Amino acid sequence: MARNVFLTGASSGIGRAATELLAERGFDVWATARDPARLPSHARVHPLALDLEDRASIDAAWRQAVAEAGHLDILVQNAGAGIFGAIEDVAPEEAARQWQILVAGPMQLLRLAAAHMRPRRAGTIIGVSSLAAEMPLPFAAHYSAGKAALSALLGGLEMELKPFSVRVVDLRPGDIRTAFNERIIPAHPTDSPYAPWTAAAWRETNALMDGAPGPDLAARAILDVIERPRALARCGTFFQARLGALGVRLLSRARLLDSIRRYYHLDRVDREARP
């Protein structure tokens, strides 16, 4: 089995859990983070500095990993970031930064991986997107849009690389209990006309995160798609990953969005604070 992995966002959450699991299973992992000092310490973990907002940093980390490994068999594009707030309330510069981290930076890595794996006619590219790609999250439209764009890129790349025997996987986790919410950029001022709804959605977002499965679930899903690659995989609670996906297929767009609003209890706010 191919054993050289390049994995982004490895200092915490899903990326750290996946790095530790893969290293324990005998993979050599070139793990990246903006601060490599925060990466797991393991004989099979090779720390690299990488910042998805810095194109030169992305190229340099990839080149260093290839030089050290000889070749890379697997890319796991996991790093991400989030903004929480209404589209009106999110500053354009923060929206642009979100797009760079969720789409433009990962796209650069997808290009590097494709150019590296295609001539060898071997490799697996895994993009950790989100169930938000198919079920938009309230007041996280920029995050949902970025993950949907990443999913579209992965789908296009899967079709392009199929003749070259390079597998591309879109892995969509649901809520996973990590410190991700603690790093989300808040964009919901108290004087916003959306304030009652953003407050309710934020409370429910944190409650769902507190009750969500831990990052080991997503790490095991990454290992599973390495061992059994397929174009699309989901992981999370039964309700989100199974029933939610069924709702996407069966419900109209309007009914799906209404059901998501109810899931976050926004219908209650409608009755109490309708403008």
Instruction: For 141-204, give the secondary structure using H, E and C.
Output: HHHHHHHHHHHHHHHHHHHHHHHHCCEEEEEEECCCCCCHHHHCEECCCCCCCCHHHHHHHHHH
Q: Which pLDDT belongs to residue 275? A: 59
Q: With both helix axes pointing from N to C terminus, report the angle between 253-263 and 266-273 in degrees, rounded to the nearest 10.
A: 80
Q: Which pLDDT belongs to residue 2? A: 61
Mention every residue, 6+ apart, whose C-beta is less than 8 A from residue 91.
Answer: 187
Burial 123-153 (b: 16+ CB within 10 A, else e): bbbbbbbbbbbbbbbbbbbbbbbbbbbbbeb
Q: Which pLDDT belongs to residue 1? A: 56
Mean pLDDT per 10-residue interval, the chain, length 275 residues: 88 95 97 94 96 96 97 94 92 93 96 98 97 94 96 98 98 90 80 94 92 94 95 93 90 95 94 75
Within a 13 Å sphere around the CA of 18, how many CA atoms are in the beta-carbon half? 31
Fold of 4-273: Rossmann fold (3.40.50)
Q: Which pLDDT belongs to residue 17? A: 96
Mention every residue, 6+ apart, whose C-beta is less than 8 A from residue 164.
Answer: 117, 118, 121
Residues acting as catalytic residues:
143
pTM score: 0.93
Q: Are 217 and 176 in contact (CB under 8 A)?
A: yes
Q: Which pLDDT belongs to residue 181? A: 72
Q: Which pLDDT belongs to residue 79? A: 82
